Amino acid sequence: MAAPQYLKVASAQYPIGQPASLEEWEAKITHWVANGAATGAELLVFPEYAAIEQAACFGPSVYKDLNTTLERVAELADQRVALHAALAKTHGVHILVGSGPAKHSDGRFVNAAQLVTPTGKVGVQEKLIMTPFEHNWGVTAGSPLRVFETALGKLAILICYDSEFPLLARAAVEAGADAILVPSCTERISGYFRVRTGSQARALENTIVTVQSPTVGDAPWSPAVDFNVGAAGIYVPPEHGVSDNGVLAEGILNAEQWVSATADLSALRRLRTSGEMRNFGDWPSQPGAEPLKHTVDVVKLI
């Protein structure tokens, strides 16, 4: 199968609300997916911990307690993915489902994002490096790092904090990734800019496109996602003929919106050997750059 030339992607600036029921939550997601697909995008990206919004459906006895929130939202994972898979089929799009807790057989909780295709296939990426809040919350590091082979190209997912670690992205790109999706959830403007900076740096280092999708808005009912700051962005290396500033598209800070763009994957591949700079090829020139310690699973979703 020939490598796709373009990637049409839409990134959500998704507002955390307080749905009174699962039916209300499902209606919201259905509306958001329809609007995302209306941009013409083939891939829709939702943010980190968007799934926590479901805890509101069960009242304060659930949403005010972090541990109970983890339990109830994790129980809904299969139902949540099934809804997105049905919507992906309806609209003919791939969807990165907003991440949420998943419970392992040993009782550990991880932060997992699911990539669903229009044909119903599902890939899962767990967050690899925990923030201090997640450590305190009892969410643990998952594994392994994966690259998903799709009809749109090879996609990797670095959830929020993971995007700030260059060797994770490099391992994914060496395994073939054309794009890295970065779902994020940050409570301060400084946090948003850390993830944005990481996303832009990973695009520059690896000559790829990165896509950041944040939660936005205040949700004082939840101790987990109470404050949310950010803007969606679609980033590439700053290179003549591709993008002068490395930003294909970006949203209005904290607005509720979709941000969309078309990335020229074939042009990015050419830049690796013919660009103004050759960051991808010159990576091994750094002291200590090789060998990489991270192994990558390549998962077919075609």
Q: How many CA atoms lie within 13 A of 171 on its CB side?
A: 20
Which of the 8 DSSP states describes residue 230? -
Catalytic member of 42, 48, 134, 250: 48
Phi, psi of 150 (to 5 degrees): -125, 175
Please say if the pLDDT value at position 132 is more than 70: yes
pLDDT the model gives residue 288: 80
Catalytic member of 53, 126, 127, 185: 127
Q: Give the tens place of pLDDT for each residue, 7-54.
A: 999 999 999 999 999 999 999 999 999 999 999 999 999 999 999 999
pLDDT the model gives residue 236: 98
- What are the structural domains, with CATH classification, of the chain? 6-300 (3.60.110.10)
Q: Give the tens place of pLDDT for each residue, 72-97.
A: 999 999 999 999 999 999 999 999 99
Task: Tell me what the mean pLDDT of segment 126-130 comes to.
Answer: 98
Is 203 in contact with 186 (CB distance < 8 Å)?
no
In sign, the C-alpha dihedral spanning 4, 201, 138, 23 is negative
Q: Give the tens place of pLDDT for each residue, 172-229.
A: 999 999 999 999 999 999 999 999 999 999 999 999 999 999 999 999 999 999 999 9
Task: Tell me what the mean pLDDT of segment 112-136 comes to.
Answer: 98
How far apart are the C-alpha atoms of 34 and 97, rounded to whole Å?
14
Task: Assign 291 a pLDDT band (cuts: 50, 70, 90).
Answer: low
- Kindly give, in sequence order, each residue whose CB lies less than 8 Å from that of residue 220, ignoring residues fewer than 6 positions away: 226
Q: Give the tens place of pLDDT for each residue, 89-120.
A: 999 999 999 999 999 999 999 999 999 999 99
How far apart are the C-alpha atoms of 75 and 209, rounded to whole Å?
33
- From the list 203, 184, 288, the residue with the least C-alpha distance to 245 is 203
Q: Which two tokens stand for residue 17?
A: 């609300």
Task: Assign 292 a pLDDT band (cuts: 50, 70, 90).
Answer: low
Task: Assign 241 a pLDDT band (cuts: 50, 70, 90).
Answer: confident
pLDDT the model gives residue 40: 98
How far apart are the C-alpha atoms of 222 and 216, rounded to whole Å?
14
Please say if the pLDDT value at position 295 is more than 90: no
Task: Tell me what the mean pLDDT of segment 132-140 comes to.
Answer: 96
134 included as an active-site residue: no
Please say if the pLDDT value at position 290 is more than 80: no
256 included as an active-site residue: no
Q: Which two tokens stand for residue 96?
A: 């990165």
pLDDT the model gives residue 2: 83
Model confidence, pTM = 0.97
pLDDT the model gives residue 293: 65
Helix (H, G, I), strand (E, B) or coil at 110: strand
Catalytic member of 42, 134, 160, 164: 160
Burial letters for 53-67: b for 16+ Cβ neighbours within 10 Å, e otherwise?
Answer: bbbbbbeeebbeebe
How far apart are the C-alpha atoms of 256 and 41, rounded to whole Å?
17
Phi, psi of 111 (to 5 degrees): -100, 110
- Kindly give, in sequence order, each residue whose CB lies less than 8 Å from that of residue 50, ignoring residues fewer than 6 positions away: 12, 14, 16, 98, 99, 100, 183, 185, 215
Helix (H, G, I), strand (E, B) or coil at 85: helix
- Kindly give, in sequence order, each residue whose CB lies less than 8 Å from that of residue 161, ignoring residues fewer than 6 positions away: 127, 129, 130, 131, 195
48 included as an active-site residue: yes
- From the list 244, 234, 238, 241, the residue with the least C-alpha distance to 209 is 234
